């Protein structure tokens, strides 16, 4: 079977884009001939093309007529039906709140496939699509992309992963408060915070708790983590075996996200974490939400659409009338921006236009940066080489200088140590000398005093006994001098120290001998 699959973008890991990639790769693996039409090809389009699937941005480039066309986007299905008016189309409804997800009313769109009950209600009761032309095929996960968990879920969650679809500071702060109070490490990922996660099914294996809605919740559970179904719109609750069927029916999405996003309510749900129950939820969804099971349903729907179109093809007049109504409804008015020149900047939500402008700016900045890098590469490389050579030379010179300084400092330290020792010895000698000089001065004072007394005695009446007493004291003092001299290093040093005293004592002794009682 030749199948043409379409989606406006194949650049980001959103639900519809992941579905488009997985359908294309899965159906090709089953032997079908696949072509993908997208207006904004990106990394996911490259992945599809690398698998040998043609990817086009203009329907006119597709030469072979497909058997059936399937995808989402009201304008995109109309463009394809203009190229292949005699081919049945199946439109996928998965974004109920945006006009691009509204059903195409051209008669070649024979079936409408939606991902949940909410979109089925929208198609039936807001756009008049007959119930017998609506099919529900829930989202699925390619189990081949799911990584094995490195460890079983713990009794209490330790690490949590949050997928951010759209910023909500109060929600994020409530999560930080709640997880912080429970010692749960929290990490945020998502395109709005410029931190995309390119392999979510691999990354989830490292986390115990996943916080998100829609496809995020489904992938988190299939990958084996416990799941808190919540996003910027509201809180549904912890995914359990008791509510998994109901949550799955509503695509873990808008119909369920009705509870407040405050820390207390979120905390109550996180406290319901049950590792064994989460493991059972994962087992249930691995069986029910596998890509192979979904592809079986899709192949049946393709066959049904082809048969419906064969049995009751629309008349040319029916096609022309429907096309006129479609153009009247969707072409921009003179006072509205035209989406024709840049599909992703006109007619979409402000956030989408802003994202497209940011993407284009990033591409242009990247191109300018690449050109500048090329122009500067050679001079910068030469400058780096010269700087490296200069640094090496400076390092060598500094090393040599450090060596010389260290050598000089070693010599200075050695000399300083020797000088300190010599200074200590000199200080010790000076102290001894000061003591010797003090003793000599004391001795000299006593001798002078004795001589004065002797003179007084010589002038008055004296007797031999007084003199002998004087002589004894002199001998005692002389003995003290001899002891002081013995403390000197040698005799020469003693005489040098006491030369003045000796010069005085010699004439004094001669004078004493001349006294009358010596004769």
What are the pLDDT digits (tens) for 248-294? 999 999 899 999 999 999 999 999 999 999 999 999 999 999 999 99
Cα(89)–Cα(67) distance, integer angstroms: 9
CA dihedral sign, ordered 175, 177, 179, 180: positive
**431 or 76: which leads in pLDDT:** 76
Tell whether the model's pLDDT for residue 358 goes beyond 80: no
Q: What is the pLDDT of residue 446?
A: 76
pLDDT tens column, 147-205: 988 889 999 999 999 999 887 889 999 999 999 999 999 999 988 888 888 889 999 99
Strands in 53-121 per DSSP E = 55-56, 68-71, 89-93, 109-114
Range with lowest mean pLDDT among 18-27, 283-292, 460-469:
460-469
Q: Please tell me the chain's helix, strand, coil percentages from 3-state DSSP, rounded to the nearest 5.
A: 60, 10, 30
How many other CB atoms sit within 10 Å of the CB of residue 423? 10
CA 242 from chain centre, in angstroms, equals 37
Q: CATH topology of 2-140+291-348 equal to that of 144-288?
A: yes
Q: What is the pLDDT of residue 459?
A: 53
Q: What is the pLDDT of residue 344?
A: 41
Q: What is the pLDDT of residue 474?
A: 58
Cα(221)–Cα(204) distance, integer angstroms: 9
Q: Per-residue confidence at 447, pLDDT binned at 50, 70, 90? A: low
Q: Buried (b) or exposed (e) across 125-146, using 16+ Cβ within 10 A?
A: eeeebeeebbbebbbbbbeebb
The C-alpha R_g of the chain, in whole angstroms, comes to 53
Q: Per-residue confidence at 420, pLDDT binned at 50, 70, 90? A: low
117's CB contacts (< 8 A; 6+ apart) are 136, 249, 250, 255
Residue ranges per structural domain of the chain: 2-140+291-348, 144-288, 352-518
Q: What is the pLDDT of residue 388?
A: 81
CATH number of 144-288: 3.40.50
Q: Rounded mean pLDDT of 20-47?
A: 95
Share of the chain above pLDDT 90, in %: 52
Residue carrying structure tokens 């000698």: 429
Q: What is the pLDDT of residue 59?
A: 95
End-to-end alpha carbon distance in the chain: 163
Q: Identify the bridge partners of residue 230 per DSSP, sorted by sequence position.
A: 235
Superfamily in which the 2-140+291-348 domain is placed by CATH: Glycogen Phosphorylase B; (3.40.50.2000)
Q: What is the pLDDT of residue 454?
A: 64
């Amino acid at each position: 079977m030749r199948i043409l699959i379409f989606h406006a973008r194949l650049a980001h890991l959103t639900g519809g884009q992941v579905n488009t990639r997985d359908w294309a790769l899965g159906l090709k693996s089953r032997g079908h001939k696949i072509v993908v039409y997208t207006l904004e090809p990106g990394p996911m389009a490259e992945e599809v093309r690398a698998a040998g699937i043609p990817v086009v941005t203009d329907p006119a480039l597709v030469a072979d007529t497909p058997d059936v066309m399937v995808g989402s986007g009201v304008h995109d299905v109309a463009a394809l039906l203009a190229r292949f008016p005699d081919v049945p189309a199946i439109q996928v409804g998965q974004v109920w709140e945006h006009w691009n997800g509204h059903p195409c009313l051209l008669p070649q769109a024979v079936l409408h496939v939606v991902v949940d009950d909410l979109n089925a209600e929208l198609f039936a009761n807001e756009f008049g699509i007959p119930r017998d032309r609506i099919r529900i095929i829930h989202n699925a996960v390619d189990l081949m992309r799911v990584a094995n968990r490195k460890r079983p879920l713990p009794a209490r969650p330790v690490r949590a992963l949050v997928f951010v679809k759209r910023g909500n500071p109060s929600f994020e702060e409530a999560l930080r408060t709640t997880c912080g109070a429970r010692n749960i490490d929290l990490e945020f990922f998502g395109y709005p915070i410029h931190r995309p996660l390119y392999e979510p099914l691999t990354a989830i294996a490292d986390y115990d708790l996943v916080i998100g809605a829609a496809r995020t919740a489904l992938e988190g559970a299939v990958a084996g983590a416990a799941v808190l179904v919540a996003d910027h719109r509201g809180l549904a609750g912890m995914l359990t075996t008791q509510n998994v069927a109901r949550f799955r029916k509503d695509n873990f999405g808008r119909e369920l996200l009705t509870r407040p996003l405050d820390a207390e309510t979120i905390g109550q749900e996180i406290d319901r974490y049950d590792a064994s129950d989460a493991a059972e939820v994962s087992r249930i969804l691995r069986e029910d939400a596998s890509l192979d099971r979904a592809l079986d349903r899709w192949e049946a729907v393709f066959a049904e659409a082809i048969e419906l179109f064969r049995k009751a093809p629309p008349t040319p007049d029916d096609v022309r009338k429907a096309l006129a109504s479609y153009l009247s409804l969707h072409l921009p008015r003179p006072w509205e921006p035209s989406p024709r020149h840049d599909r992703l900047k006109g007619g979409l939500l402000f956030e989408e236009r802003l994202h497209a402008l940011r993407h284009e700016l990033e591409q242009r900045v990247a191109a300018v940066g690449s050109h500048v890098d090329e122009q500067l590469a050679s001079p910068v490389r030469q400058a780096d080489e010269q700087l490296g050579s200069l640094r090496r030379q400076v390092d060598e010179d500094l090393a040599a200088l450090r060596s010389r300084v260290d050598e000089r400092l070693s010599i200075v330290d050695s000399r300083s140590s020797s000088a300190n020792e010599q200074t200590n010895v000199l200080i010790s000698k000076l102290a001894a000398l000061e003591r010797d000089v003090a003793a000599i001065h004391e001795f000299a004072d006593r001798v002078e005093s004795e001589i004065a007394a002797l003179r007084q005695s010589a002038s008055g009446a004296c007797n031999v006994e007084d003199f002998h007493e004087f002589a004894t004291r002199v001998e005692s003092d002389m003995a003290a001098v001899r002891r002081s001299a013995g403390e000197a290093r040698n005799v020469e040093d003693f005489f040098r120290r006491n030369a003045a005293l000796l010069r005085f004592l010699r004439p004094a002794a001669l004078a004493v001998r001349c006294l009358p009682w010596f004769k």
